[in-house]
Chain A
Amino acid sequence: MSLNIDQIRGLFPVLHQEVHGKPLIYFDNAATTQKPKAVLDSLLNYYEKDNSNIHRGAHALADRATRFYESTREAVRDFINAREAAEIIFTKGTTESINLVAQTFGRKFIGKDDELIISTMEHHSNIVPWQMLCEEKGAVLKVIPINDSGEIIYEEFEKLLSPKTKLVSIVHASNALGTINPVKKIIQAAHAVGARVLVDGAQSTSHLEIDVQDLDCDFLAFSAHKLYGPTGLGVLYGKREVLEAMPPFLGGGEMIREVTFEKTTYNDIPFKFEAGTPNIGDVIAFGESLKFIKSLGKKAIKDHEDELLSYANELLLPIKGFIPVGTAAEKVSVLSFNINGMHPFDVGQMLDAKGIAVRTGHHCTQPLMQRFGIEGTVRASFSVYNSKSEIEKLAEGVSQLARIKNK
């Protein structure tokens, strides 16, 4: 059954405004999605009625806040089909989730001359933490090359694998290109040589069905704000046996079992990795984001976004001077492009004047831009509340701009 987009748009207050005198067309969803009213109401409701520090409070508010907080953990478990809620750790975002793994798993299990594998299309947040680790440990970072369509060359990945490989950290869906990587196959191959696998799900979790048991990944990192939820909140999923073997990340309250000045013993997972007062209000509101996604169904969301992407391709590809960047066979709804003879920043600013919000630049993937020999791209990324008529406006805008330099 197809979705009623007008009805869905009605749930998002921010979409109903004008910018520069034009109706807002929000195509910057890969950077962050907008939030449905239920999420905003939940935030306000928490601070108006339930605000309290969670766990160990001997009063009604603390009890309520704890229950709501933990019920989101359970909703996240359900969302990615983890075995148990204890495998869900709340963090500040995907970046912190990856850094947590680098600083704990990495520091304990990766040593001199060990190898880590990432791909050419990683976001800086899945490059830099590993470079820092490699520098500290004398380990080696290997990079899977990609082809001109923006797909990893799987055979080259297989060649990089060896008994020295300790970790493969790979993006599920590229933020800059939209490419969906064959992570299940990658995980199987990595496991065959005894390596662990982290999947960067920042872009994939909002578009694709995710089943961590089926994928068999060791870690999955993602952010709430790209899933119609609040900013400053993310998730790290890890298999119980891996999380238990890892040392803690930050020291402080909540993560301890017992503290004496001689020795501290640590709490069980997930609390071992949640030192200090967590982001309670946002976690609770994130529960509403997950309800929203569930109410529509991932498949229906994906079908709608696929339709938008193929409509955008249909209208934009024939435009003279339009250069698509990233033409993988399997993609999420990200359309990265350039206009011949124009800087992406200029294109972005001109589209903004038309009320169309896109992102321009290197998208925190400078090595990927270098691979394509470009400075950056214009990126339009579509979400469930976008409509075909908005895509038509984008095509009109791009076509008008392309004519300036491509007569």
Chain B
Amino acid sequence: MSTIREIQDEIVSEFEILGEDRESTIFYIMELGGNLEEFPEEEKKEENIIKGCQSKVWLIADEHDGKIHYKADSNTDITKGLISLLIRVLNDRSPEEIIQAELNFINRIGMGNIIGSQRSNGLAAMIQQMKRYALAFQTKLNT
């Protein structure tokens, strides 16, 4: 399995191929949402929501053999694409790896510029929530 750093490098080079064109970049992000695993409808409840201003994200996680597996969904396609990138980088790793992960691909892509400030705040909230899950599982595994 590739390291967090290797996957981030991959993502950065994929975005580099797209070049400067904003429209095709956003289309690409929207398409990435299609990679998300199916999200169980019954988990679309209030307690699993990460609230952004205009979009909703549902995020759940479970743990198998010391690795965390995330599932997520959103009511907007662009947000789905964004969370699919985070999941691609962080899924099925140990809590320690996730907690320590520096997600530099976001800045390297210049994502803030592409998606604007509202969605950037949302993206930061998603990362925070993923790390919170990791922290909770770490505590659980160590006790």
Contacts and interface: CB of A to CB of B under 8 A. Distances in A.
Interface of A: 20-21, 342-346, 349-350, 352-354, 360-361, 375-376
Contacts of A350: 23, 26-27
B116 interface: yes
Of residues A343, A346, A360, which shows the largest number of chain B Cβ atoms within 10 Å of its Cβ?
A346
Interface string B76-102: 111000000000000000000000000
B51 interface: no
A375 B55 CA distance: 10
Contacts of B30: 346
Interface in B102-138: 115-116, 119
B78 A349 contact: yes
Interface string B14-31: 000000101100110010
B67 to A, nearest CB: 32
A346 B77 contact: yes
Interface in B47-81: 53-55, 75-78
Given A20-B22, A345-B55, A349-B115, 17 more contacts: A21-B20, A342-B77, A343-B54, A343-B55, A343-B75, A343-B76, A343-B77, A346-B30, A346-B77, A346-B78, A349-B26, A350-B27, A352-B116, A354-B23, A360-B54, A361-B53, A376-B54
Interface of B: 20, 22-23, 26-27, 30, 53-55, 75-78, 115-116, 119
B2 to A, nearest CB: 30
B23 A353 contact: yes
Nearest to A397: B23
Q: Label chain B's interface by main secondary structure.
A: helix
A350 B77 CA distance: 11
A12 B51 CA distance: 38
A361 B54 contact: yes
B57 to A, nearest CB: 12
Contacts of A344: 54
Nearest to A361: B54
> Closest 3 A-B residue pairs measured CB to CB?
A343-B76, A345-B54, A353-B22
Contacts of B115: 349
Contacts of B23: 350, 353-354
A219 B84 CA distance: 52
Contacts of A376: 54
B44 to A, nearest CB: 14
A74 to B, nearest CB: 42
A375 B53 CA distance: 12
A345 B116 CA distance: 11
B46 to A, nearest CB: 16
A140 to B, nearest CB: 31
A353 B76 CA distance: 17
Contacts of B27: 350
Contact of B26 (A353, A360, A361, A375): A353
Contacts of B26: 349-350, 353
5 contacts: A343-B54, A345-B78, A346-B78, A349-B78, A376-B54
Contacts of A354: 23
Nearest to B113: A20
A346 B22 contact: no
B55 to A, nearest CB: 6
A353 B29 CA distance: 13
A349 B81 CA distance: 14
